[in-house]
């Protein structure tokens, strides 16, 4: 009888352990816009296991109930989740940049509220935000057009609009390709890190391509960099 009870106890214990350990699957999205976020780092603080979200914002990481998951990204506030179960979940991250206060939405146009608030970063102009091509209820993020800012011909407005948009993308690229951020992906420091960034920082066209994947791009670039001679690695430096 005692042997039977011991076997039952061991069976229950093994079953509970097996159920407690497994894999946590989920999707990381931007708060409010529901844009899927690629390249977000997901770390299990309990096991130190780290994974990165794919192009669809999905992740899969070994975990068990009671583990602590930390989500971090270059442009988003970090978030921490204590796992009480291993059911599939959606995780929402909030952008770091300052966002507008309360606004009234009419179609796709963002209008200043009754308080008269105007966005200081956009000269107080009315803005139109990009919407998701498949689901118009969701914003894609980013300003698609600013209204009533230029008074000259449409061709010039378009060129100036493209210039401003490119400037914004270049600022984003510069932040993503900072030494501090790139160090999370490639084991380079000092002059090697500076030369790597100078050689492989992507153009606006490359960075905004639908096929661009930061992790894949850095991995490929790092392999190319390691094959270069010391002199070739300095090719990206400015001539003084």
Least confident of 33-47, 136-150, 210-224: 136-150
Using a pLDDT cut of 70, give the percent of the chain over it.
Answer: 62
Token duo for residue 55:
């192009």
pTM over 0.85: no
Burial class of residue 106 (count of CB atoms within 10 Å of its CB; 0-12, 13-18, 19+): exposed
Q: Is the dihedral of CA 47, 51, 53, 58 positive or negative?
A: negative
The confidence band for 96, taking pLDDT boundaries of 50, 70 and 90, is confident
Contact 161, 149 (CB under 8 A): no
* pLDDT (0 to 100) of residue 59: 97
Instruction: Give the architecture-level CATH label for domain 2-93.
Output: Sandwich (2.60)
Contact 65, 83 (CB under 8 A): yes
Averaged confidence pLDDT in the chain: 77
Task: Kindly state the greatest CA–CA separation across the chain.
Answer: 94
* pLDDT (0 to 100) of residue 56: 94
pLDDT tens per residue, range 97-130: 644 445 455 554 444 444 444 444 444 444 444 5
- Report how far residue 174's alpha carbon sits from residue 37's, in angstroms, rounded to the nearest whole number: 19
- Report how far residue 4's alpha carbon sits from residue 8's, in angstroms, rounded to the nearest whole number: 6
Q: Would the pLDDT of 157 be above 70?
A: no
Domain boundaries of the chain, sorted by first residue: 2-93
């Amino acid at each position: 009888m005692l042997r039977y009870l011991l076997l039952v106890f061991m069976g229950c214990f093994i079953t509970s352990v097996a159920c407690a350990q497994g894999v946590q699957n989920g999707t990381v999205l931007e708060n409010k816009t529901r844009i899927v976020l690629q390249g977000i780092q997901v770390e299990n603080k309990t096991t130190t296991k780290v994974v990165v979200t794919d192009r669809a914002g999905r992740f899969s990481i070994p975990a068990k109930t009671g583990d602590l998951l930390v989500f971090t990204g270059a442009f988003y506030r970090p978030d921490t989740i204590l796992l009480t179960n291993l059911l599939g979940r959606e995780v929402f991250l909030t952008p770091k940049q300052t966002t507008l206060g309360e606004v009234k939405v009419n179609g796709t146009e963002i209008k200043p509220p009754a308080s008269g608030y105007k966005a200081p970063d956009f000269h107080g102009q009315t803005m139109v935000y990009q919407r998701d091509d498949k689901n118009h209820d969701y914003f894609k993020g980013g300003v698609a057009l600013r209204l009533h800012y230029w008074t000259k011909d449409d061709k010039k407005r378009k060129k100036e609009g493209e210039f401003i948009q490119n400037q914004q993308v270049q600022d984003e690229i510069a932040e993503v390709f900072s030494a501090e951020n790139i160090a999370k992906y490639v084991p380079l420091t000092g002059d090697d890190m500076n030369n790597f960034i100078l050689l492989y920082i992507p153009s606006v066209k490359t960075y905004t391509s639908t096929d661009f994947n930061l992790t894949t791009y850095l991995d490929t670039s790092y392999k190319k960099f390691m094959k270069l001679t010391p002199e070739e690695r300095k090719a990206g430096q400015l001539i003084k």
